[in-house]
Chain A
Amino acid sequence: MQPSGKHAKIALVGNPNSGKSSLFNYLTGLNQKTGNFPGVTVEKRTGFSKMPEGHQAQFIDLPGVYSLYPRSLDEQIVSETLLNDKSPDYPDAVVVIVDATNLKRSLLLVTQIIDLGLPVVLALNMMDLVAKKQISYNLAEMTQQLGVPVVPMNARTGMGVDDLKNVLSKPVAPSGKSIFPVFDEAKAGVQELREALYINNDYKAYQFLQQPNTLSFLKQEDVDLIHRVKEKYQFFPGKFHGAETVQRYSFIQSLLDSVTTQPSAERKTSRSTLFDKVLTHRVWGYAIFLGILFLIFQAIFAWATVPMDFIDGLFASLSNYLSETLPDGPLTRMLAEGVVPGIGGIVIFIPQIAILFAFISILEESGYMARVVFLMDKIMRKFGLSGKSVVPLISGVACAIPAIMATRTIDNWKERIITILVTPLMSCAARLPVFTILIALIVPEKMVYGFFNLQGLALMGLYLLGVAAVLLSAVVIKMLINVKERSYLIMEMPMYRWPKWSNVGYTIYDKTKSFVFEAGKVILAIAIVLWVLASYGPGDYQENAEAYILQETENLELTEQDMEDRVAAFKLEHSYAGILGKSIEPVIRPLGYDWKIGIALVTSFAAREVFVGTMATIYSIGSEEDQTTIKSRMKAEINPETGGPRYTPAVGFSLLVFYTFAMQCMSTLAVVYRETKGWKWPMIQLVYMTVLAYISAFAVFQLLS
């Protein structure tokens, strides 16, 4: 097939753990972008690669699947992309990458895609491990029997990638072989459908007959037509599907018998088995898992604070510098008090997000994540979740948005809905700055037993509180949702291996970049809106603030500094933001908050991390003289009623608990809306989390004060 348009579109397809991402990263480098497949939130990675003749080819990384018959929504994308020749992602050629140490299972998918009549190149990955096992394949014979080019490679080192590019730079012809000719009983139906829908291939028409309801691109009239054809020719998908799989495997077995040479003795215990003895041990398995979690939290707290303090200080002094050097005016003030602290509030996240995604990516890459699913499945099922819920929940520690997208791998609807509903209770990276700053304010920086950082322990406690909330809510929701659907867990246990560090690097880069540009836009916009709300207000209070203060304090002898502070506070109080904060004060007073914190609660409804930015904006307005860090400004804040500090332990812990439970993230609600296709679940989620947050914060404040 000739590449259409200006560049060839090449899809990468393969089983999970086949090395598809490594190959994609190797081909495209940093020249890749992450988007979504139309209408769904499944992550779509595309990128360009320079081909030998100098032109570019576009690569699309499709989700990992074992067959064209999808079990989960994630897998459905692959069938839809490869079966819909009108799709903008329909490829000119397909590279099917397989784990060559595990050819039997991998070839099932290969034979299905060959039968679709698509031009296929078979990439045999992990050839180094094949050699280590002293297995060899007759590649010429394999090419002959499958009718497609076969390229041996090692996607981790890049060995064979140039050969693959060479093969792809010339037009690839479809195989021409038909490995599974459709059953005789289905032929008439397939023929009728091909003519009615202009389908150019038997197996494609057969797929339409097999699963019309999973292919969302089919128009309703086409689906009706397919159902009529099925009816007419007595086509029973279930029976045919099993028989097709058996037939494909018998082809694969005879192919493997004729191309494989391997040593006679079966390998004994592999390295993976030895690892599993320890890592899935009844004591060590859980101890190591907890230890890893503990390490992650300590690392985030200990390693990220240094760059974070640096960034915080940097933006404070930039802000200071701007207001000193630029001529005074609304624009300068907006820049120094709105935009710069706003950007600072985004950039400050980068160290934590990077560290979190580094850990998550290493756990995935090494094969350990599948063991976590294995260890946790039985426990999670008691709570109405699945072992597979552990991956979204752990990702939820970084950000609920990709985590909720990751629930697509859970094939049981009820387990998936519960996972979606409780995932935002996991403390995400956006809560970290809130936690960090409040903990730093109310928990002394001390070491206990010599090596536990007390602040780190407090942080870990909050995370555990989130986990407890996840489990308890899940149990309650499990009892409330009354659906009986069979759930299962049939999951590959990949071999342990060293993570490929460049893949880890790409993940960090990718996630951090999308955070800065996606979430960053919202945060910056809110920072500016907030600055406007905090700087302007109704009536003449803003312009004549000094006159009002003079009137109020006629009999007092005020220093210049005192006067300025009073004016600033007066202005804020009578700004739009102040009015907003005051109007909700009666509701939040039982939690120990004043109207200034109220402003932060309102603004951080859009995104939790805005809390810190709001604090920065609120407490910097007016006090241009000493632009110190946010923390010291919050520490200096006085509660006028008690004369003591505003942030007492009671207020601090009440806020910490509120932020642990509250659903304060518009992006998460938007993702839940998209994933559940309606407002019902996001609204339920918003209400239950807000009520939980309010009651808990109330209880904490009343108990501590």
Chain B
Amino acid sequence: MVNPVLFIVVPLGLAFAIPLLKYISKKIIRFVPALAFLFNLIFALRLIPVVMDHQVHVQIGGFIPPLGINLVAGPVGMLFVVLIALVGFLVSIYAFHPIKEKDEDRYHILYMLQLTGATGVVLTGDIFNLFVFFEILCLASYSLVAYLGNRAGIESAVKYLIQGSLGSGLILIGIGLLYGQFGTLNMADIAGRIHSVQSISVYVPLVLFITGFGVEAALFPLNAWLPDAHSSAPSTISAVLSGIAIEVGLYAVLRVVFTLFGITHMMGLFLLLGVLTLLIGELCAFSQDNIKRMLAFSSIGQIGLLVFAFSLASTLGIAGGFFQLISHTLGKALLFLAAGYMIAHTGSMEIASFQGMGKRMPFTSLAFTIGAFSMVGLPPFMGFPGKFMILKAALHDGQMLTLILLVFILIATVIEGAYFFRVVQVLYFAGEDLPDRERAPVAFSRFVPMFLFTGLIIVLGIYPSLITDLLDASALELLDRPDFIKSIIP
């Protein structure tokens, strides 16, 4: 069994080593991220059966948890580690072909740091440590958004930076208040004593945390940065931002709400917030002509759906939420990579410029179509079981509010279908009168990740039972708070 701390330390060490490796050869550095995340992927998958049985706790520096920092590799953490490693590995294959000639080493370093930060956030059991890794993730994201160096990129990076830093500041104040109140930073330790103080000392940090992490998780009033940042970043980074960064922000919100504070009596508010985010995201996506902005708004919508699913606070709802989260990560990464490849070919982000792509780039168009169908929730792709599980959980919940909100979710899905079908229609059926141009040249480093993402979406769509055990265990970890606390602080 591999020590979970290596999932953080190995990519971090390799990222530190890249400036030295550059002196040996400039060529090899582009393979370093793939190597690091392949390591993570293999060993994280091997650790999954172990954590299904019992949580793996790791102490750092040899001090028992409330004194030192501990890592908690439970089902939720390992689910995210596998997801991050998978997306990290496949997207880094896509980047074998350099995105920009200059500063290639900095791209790879920042990319690895971004995903290392994400891995750290999902593994740690200490709230301040979570903040530190969250900062690594955010800082790397800010600079990667500006990586292309055009005006739009820098402008949206500054927007992202300002909103993100304000959010981080709020989180830090919240941590300060919690430490002042409880004299400890371990999440399980705080969670065990959260009800021993007056409610004002609980709700103020809670609000600060949700606002701070909500910026990264793109909850409704806090997501003004997202469409710009996601659409002006390089396509690989858009895939990671949409597929990993938002989800990790959502993980932090979940961890805070479910484990740290154990607040389950105000879920109605979150249900409303989720559906509002969903509707606004989908409506804005519908009115976009720019493909990357459309995908970015679609991410906002999907996050709304995820918030709705998790706020149901039932095993079925949370398991469905995790399934939909995986489906969104894989689907959106695929869509951004496919769209990025088409944009590189046409030189334009306008949807109208993709006319006739079905003939010129048959495989990329097919991959985009499958991703779009999965996003809408058509069988046999991965989005279908996800949305189905969420619907089932909502019906099972049976409250009046949930049922009313369900109607809005169905409306949002119809809108989602409309704008994705519009793109698919442009790809295949528009521009018949265009002269038949020759097929685009093939770059294998670009096709392999798209092919694997497509394969995963179809396989998990047909056999959702491959991962449902892990998802149920994850849902239990979030819901069974006393057990989580007792396993760390006996």
Chains A and B bind each other: no
